[in-house]
Amino acid sequence: MENMQFIAWMLPILFILHDFEEMVMVEAWSKRYRSELKQLKKAPFGHAKTASFVCAVLEEFILAVGVTVISIYFNQYIVWFGFFFAFTVHFLVHIVLWLKFKHYVPGILTSFFMLPFCCYLLIVAVEIEKFSFPSIVLSSITGTLIIFLNLMFLHKKMGSIQEKLEAYGRI
């Protein structure tokens, strides 16, 4: 696997496969564990319904595709690396949530399968692109920070998105 363009497309492909698990399960999961989730300070996935969650996933998917296309077009993959690093690290968040919650958490199954593969792809990307250590660190921190801030924004907006979707349905 030495083709960086092929590896770059793994970001949106693996992202959407992982998020399919979350999209299918998030609403049923939040209903099943309603009482347990109410006891938590901050419930994972908020109290998202499928439609508002899918809107957030769509925004993230567009971002993943955009970063991938721009990276391939300019043949510069350091920004892509930061985003792929953040995507990979987020699997650890699913695993920690699963360990703390002690029940199924949406996205845990794909996290277990994808984490080793994504780590492998990060190593291969470094070998192909010959990224310097400082650029790896800076890209990883920047990509993770951007994704974290974007997720915070999306989680805040999910409630209002859901309200708008429900209002649209009533008209």
- Specify whether the CB–CB gap between 37 and 30 falls below 8 A: yes
What's the pLDDT score for residue 42? 67
What's the structural domain count of the chain?
Answer: 1
Give the pLDDT mean for 6-22. 97
Lookup result for tokens 């199924």: 104
- The one-letter code for the residue type at 138 is L
What's the pLDDT score for residue 37? 78
Please write the tens of the pLDDT for every residue from 84-143.
999 999 999 999 999 988 999 999 999 999 999 999 999 999 999 999 999 999 999 999
Please write the tens of the pLDDT for every residue from 143-152.
999 999 999 8
User: What domain range includes position 78?
Assistant: 4-170
Please write the tens of the pLDDT for every residue from 27-70.
899 889 888 877 776 666 656 688 888 999 999 999 999 999 99
